[in-house]
């Protein structure tokens, strides 16, 4: 245990590439599958509430401007801490390569001195599991400081060129139904790029507010739930997932195996109960968590569609939080997956709206096989 027995987020940073892209210009950046506009786009955008997002793509050329490691390194540089990192802990859904791990690629991109590096796998929760590792490293005294990151470069797999092979393979079907399967098309209007970084230390910052990490709870329901969100495989009739390694290489493109897919029916039927419901019941019991002891609620929502069901389910569990205590930047920053909670906290942290003693409850769900998490933070003044 470190001497203070506490861990603080003393600095935060967010990096969003290029200019924001509004709803009317998404296909100008991501392209049109089969040369035709998506019929699902307007329906999905109307429900998700996102008005602007960012892509690491040059809209003029369609070329990538930043890979995932570069996005992450840019966020870390925004912390302005130079070379002094004991532990670097990174989380992302889809790194730039299968191996080496994302963290060492970020370390190489930064070109800083040797340090401990770890990467956590997952989807939206990979950013939080990276943060929990960094938190534990500082808490147990293994590191004097640690940098935790969450990042996504979803646009690399959302661009229309990635579906060209599938479109050609299914040409007869596409003549009557010009879109790729909804499970793939749906996510093209939901996900975007960005990165966030936190500096964790065993003392608060010498000036201004810091955020003390009080606890982080994570609870997976995969023992009872089938796969809902996935990439690198195909879901079978019996609900199992068949991974890309079992398919011949010439099938990878024809099936868009590496596209991000989601079982929307399964999502809508289970996401609220299996993520916020189960973890909230656990934390209320074990942390003595009470709704009137929350000053700010920061939910990572993939879509505004889930706001009301989320609020209603929390109220039904005896944990109502008024909407004026909710904070989200989904509308202007988009759904950046593992980076979302970092980008959200960074904006609130720097907004001037926090005061000493404010208690923050952060909710991060993951629909891969349904995992929910809660993190409790307290704003503390350097004095």
Structural domain that includes position 160: 8-207
Q: Is 88 among the domain residues?
A: yes
Tens digit of pLDDT for each residue in 243-263?
999 999 999 988 889 988 989
Say whether both 277 and 375 belong to one domain.
yes
Domain end, chosen from 166, 187, 207, is at 207
Are 29 and 57 found together in one domain? yes
103 & 161 share domain: yes
Same domain, 203 and 218: no
Tell me: do 97 and 244 sit in the same domain. no
């289970």: which residue's tokens?
Answer: 270
For residue range 28-59, what is the model confidence (pLDDT) as tens digits?
999 988 788 888 888 899 999 999 999 999 99
pLDDT, one tens digit per residue, over 80-136 is 999 889 999 999 999 999 999 999 999 999 999 999 999 999 999 999 999 999 999
| Residues with Cβ within 8 Å of residue 201, at least 6 apart in sequence | 7, 8, 10, 138, 144, 145
Is the per-residue pLDDT at 152 higher than 50?
A: yes
Confidence of residue 26 (pLDDT cuts 50, 70, 90): very high
pLDDT tens for each residue of 155-205: 999 998 887 654 444 444 434 444 455 666 778 999 999 999 999 999 999
Of 207, 232, 263, the residue at which a domain comes to its end is 207
Split into its structural domains, the chain has a count of 2
Q: Retrieve residue 178's tokens.
A: 């010009």
Does residue 320 register a pLDDT over 80? yes
Using an 8 Å Cβ cutoff, are 81 and 11 in contact? Answer: yes
User: Are 360 and 224 contained in the same domain?
Assistant: yes
We report the CATH number of the domain holding residue 157 as 3.40.47.10
**Coil, helix or strand at residue 56:** coil
Regarding whether 315 and 192 lie in a shared domain, the answer is: no
pLDDT tens per residue, range 329-383: 999 999 999 999 999 999 999 999 999 999 999 999 999 999 999 999 999 998 6
Does any domain span residue 3? no
CA distances (Å), origin 318, targets 51, 210, 215, 281:
32, 30, 21, 10
> Is 2 part of a structural domain of the chain?
no
Please identify, among 164, 189, 207, the residue that sits at the C-terminal boundary of a domain: 207
- Is 112 part of any domain? yes
266, part of any domain:
yes
Q: Are 172 and 248 in the same domain?
A: no
| Nearest CA among 341, 190, 365 for reference residue 271 | 365
């Amino acid at each position: 245990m470190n001497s203070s027995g506490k861990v603080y987020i003393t600095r935060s940073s967010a990096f969003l590439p290029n200019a924001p892209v509004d709803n009317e210009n998404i296909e100008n950046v991501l392209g049109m599958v089969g040369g035709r506009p998506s019929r699902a786009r307007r329906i999905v955008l109307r429900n998700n509430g996102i008005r602007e997002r960012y892509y690491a793509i040059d809209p003029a050329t369609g070329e990538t401007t930043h890979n995932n490691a570069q996005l992450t390194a840019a966020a870390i540089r925004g912390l302005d801490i130079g070379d002094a990192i004991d532990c670097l802990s990174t989380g992302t859904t889809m790194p730039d390569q299968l191996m080496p791990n994302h963290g060492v690629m970020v370390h190489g991109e930064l070109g800083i001195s040797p340090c401990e590096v770890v990467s956590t796998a997952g989807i939206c929760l990979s950013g939080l599991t990276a943060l929990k590792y960094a938190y534990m490293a500082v808490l147990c005294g293994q590191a004097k400081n640690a940098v935790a990151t969450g990042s996504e470069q979803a646009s690399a797999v959302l661009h229309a060129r990635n579906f060209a092979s599938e479109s050609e393979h299914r040409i007869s079907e596409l003549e009557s139904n010009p879109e790729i399967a909804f499970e793939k098309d749906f996510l093209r209007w939901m996900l975007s790029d960005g990165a966030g970084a936190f500096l964790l230390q065993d003392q608060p910052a010498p000036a201004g507010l810091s955020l003390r990490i009080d606890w982080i709870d994570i609870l997976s329901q995969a023992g009872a739930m089938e796969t809902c969100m996935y990439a690198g495989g195909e879901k079978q009739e019996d609900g199992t997932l068949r991974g890309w390694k079992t398919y011949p290489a010439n099938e990878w493109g024809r099936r868009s195996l590496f596209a991000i897919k989601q079982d929307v029916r399964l999502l809508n039927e289970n996401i609220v109960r299996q993520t916020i419901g189960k973890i909230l019941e656990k934390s209320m019991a074990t942390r003595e968590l009470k709704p009137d002891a929350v000053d700010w609620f920061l939910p990572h929502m993939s879509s505004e569609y889930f706001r009301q069901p989320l609020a209603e389910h929390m109220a039904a569990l005896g944990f109502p939080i008024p909407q004026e205590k909710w904070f989200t930047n989904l509308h202007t920053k988009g759904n950046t997956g593992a980076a979302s909670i970092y980008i959200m906290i960074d904006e609130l942290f720097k907004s001037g709206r926090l005061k000493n003693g404010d208690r923050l409850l952060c909710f991060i769900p993951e629909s891969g096989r349904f995992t929910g998490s809660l993190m409790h933070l307290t704003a503390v003044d350097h004095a």
